Amino acid sequence: MILRIILAGVVIFFSGCASVPNDQLYRDLGEMDGITRLIDEFVFEISGNAKLHEQFKETDWERFHEKLVTQVCELSGGPCVLEGDSMAEIHKGMGVKESEFNSLVENLMVAMDRLAVPVSAQNRLLAKLAPFHKDIVEQP
């Protein structure tokens, strides 16, 4: 698991060098049906994660699911547009710790593995999501 996180970091670093069409990731994730299944599985993983219980105890799961589907659709080059508050505004004052963020990433990786998302697509999605780290994790 640690090796995959390190590899994802390398991919993130070099992602600017890749020449993949904007919507290729969207297609590789299975378009809207595949993204929806991925977020279904991801939300299932989060809901059972004791490390994240406090952060998600008052979550509107339906809205959370809907926003994640839209976000992943947009980030992957799909036809969606995410509207609303920024990630920084949403997470301000939540006190999200690095360990909680890492646990969330692990949940996403488990969900992608369970759905047999190709590793290259997993790494490209993680690279698209990585910049949000600074908006989510509250620095001590």
- Annotated binding residue at 91? yes
Per the CB < 8 A criterion, the answer to whether 25 and 127 are in contact is no
- With the CA atoms of 62, 32, 28 and 117 taken in that order, what torsion angle do they form, in degrees rounded to the nearest 10? 40
Cα separations in angstroms, 113 against 58, 139, 140:
28, 30, 32
> CA 106, 107, 111 angle in degrees (round to 5)?
115
Question: What DSSP state is assigned to residue 115?
Answer: T
CA-to-CA distance for 101 and 107, rounded, in angstroms?
Answer: 10
CA-to-CA distance for 11 and 6, rounded, in angstroms?
Answer: 9
Binding residues: 91
Binding residues for heme: 91
